[in-house]
Structure 1
């Protein structure tokens, strides 16, 4: 009589993630870091005298991704992505402080002193941006997900409906983001009225014009990616 087979050792839990969600997670983490770095430069809004901080372009991608994720995978997953977006922000800010405090190479000090001075001057002054960014980030993106999901109602909705919800949610949340970020990052450094007005106008305009088709594109791309195995 043969002995009974030994009980199988419980295997480690296997987790699967949709291909599109995986891709958007990678892109989202990168954009949280890039938005903070780009925010140091203000660009003019031709032909007006208004200005906008350059981080807006990366930040609008965050809005598109969070709305796309909320549409396809639910607002609970979208909120988790927003909260986890703090991790690359934290790690990158700590790494920047490490790099700033490490001594530069002899070759750079001797032959590239201007580059070194520019690097340290810009990044050593980013602390207010790094502080303001997370505050504006968490408020505006959680608000975006909440508004986008609340406007959804029941059902998946049409493409036009998704685009309209995206425009409304993005415009409202990004207006709030502008007030928080500009005030915390630059108040007292210079007159912020022009920048603040330009930021609000630019984000609202881009939210209406650019965000809706990008969300529709993001949803369509995600469905194609998810139709194939990871």
Structure 2
């Protein structure tokens, strides 16, 4: 068979510690870019849909794109294994910290005389006024992504690599569940204008919408996973993997 069409070999993750993959860096960049943009652009706008029976349905614009980071997280773990996905999650975590630091510094810089954009900057990028939201976002991302990756890697071993859809959707149910359970209560519980019931409603509605996105994107996930496995020539299983999140070495 020609390169790119041969069936990928089943290998344990530990056998490929020094292996260089041709597409890994691109997938990592896509993950970090979508993570940052969905938080810095999408999170700042609230929109709505007019749904049949339900009527006016408000939502944060970031929900349209943030779940794609979970899809890419699934691809990373499924194709490259938990250890490499773990490195990417830490890269995203550090990138988010730097993004918040940069927002704080840029907003705090005194505006030049005659420049009228300071109020807009403070409204969009002003983490200083709402630090708990930034902290909640980072903690929820870190925990949710690691749960997502861990569940998928374990399910791949349990299913012996069969039924990809069960582990992409199953891992998202747990990962997005942890993300929502941490972020919304930590960010909004006890804040002015938020009741306990409102926080609970948004936890479950946002979780449901994010998981629904994963279900809708399942055909796309299959295409990407199958393409990368053929091109990389391996099908990695996390046999003997150390699943601690507190390391970055492959």
Q: Distance in 2 between matches of 1:23 and 1:72?
A: 13
Question: TM-score if structure 1 supplies the norm length?
Answer: 0.78
Q: Do structure 1's residue 182 and structure 2's residue 184 form an aligned pair?
A: yes
- The residue that corresponds to 2:220 in the other structure is 214
| 1:46-75 Cα distance to aligned partner (Å, 9 max, x none) | 313443333333321221112111111111
Alpha-carbon RMSD across the aligned residues, in angstroms, is: 2.4
Q: 1:190: how far off? A: 2.8
Aligned length: 205
Quickly say closer, same or farther: Cα 1:156–1:70, change in 2 above 3 A. farther
Q: Structure 1 residue 141 and structure 2 residue 148: aligned?
A: no
Q: Is the deviation greater in 54-63 or in 177-186?
A: 54-63
Distance 2:29 2:130 in 1: 24
Structure 2 distance, partners of 1:226, 1:56, is 31
What TM-score does the superposition give when structure 2 sets the normalisation length? 0.72
Displacement of 1:186 after TM fit?
2.3
Aligned pair in 2 of structure 1 residues 179, 67: CA closer, same or farther (>3 Å)? same
Higher alpha-carbon Rg: 1
1:61 is aligned, of 68, 71, 74, to 68
Residues 91-100 or 191-200, more deviating: 191-200
Where do 5+ consecutive residues of structure 1 fail to align? 1-14
Q: CA deviation at 1:204?
A: 2.4
Question: Higher strand fraction: Structure 1 or Structure 2?
Answer: 2
Structure 1 contact 171–207 (Cα < 8 Å) conserved? no
Cα distance in 2 for partners of 1:197, 1:170 equals: 14
1:24-39, aligned counterparts within 5 Å?
Answer: 24-37=27-40, 38-39=42-43
Is contact 2:71–2:214 with CA below 8 Å preserved after alignment? no
Higher relative contact order (CA 8 A, sep 6+): 2
Q: Which has the higher helix share?
A: 1
Match of 1:22 in 2: 25
Residues 34 and 69 in structure 2, CA contact (< 8 A), matched pair in contact too: yes
Q: Secondary structure at the match of 1:152?
A: helix
* Distance in 1, Cα, partners of 2:130 & 2:220: 30
Contact 1:174 1:203 in 2 (8 A): yes
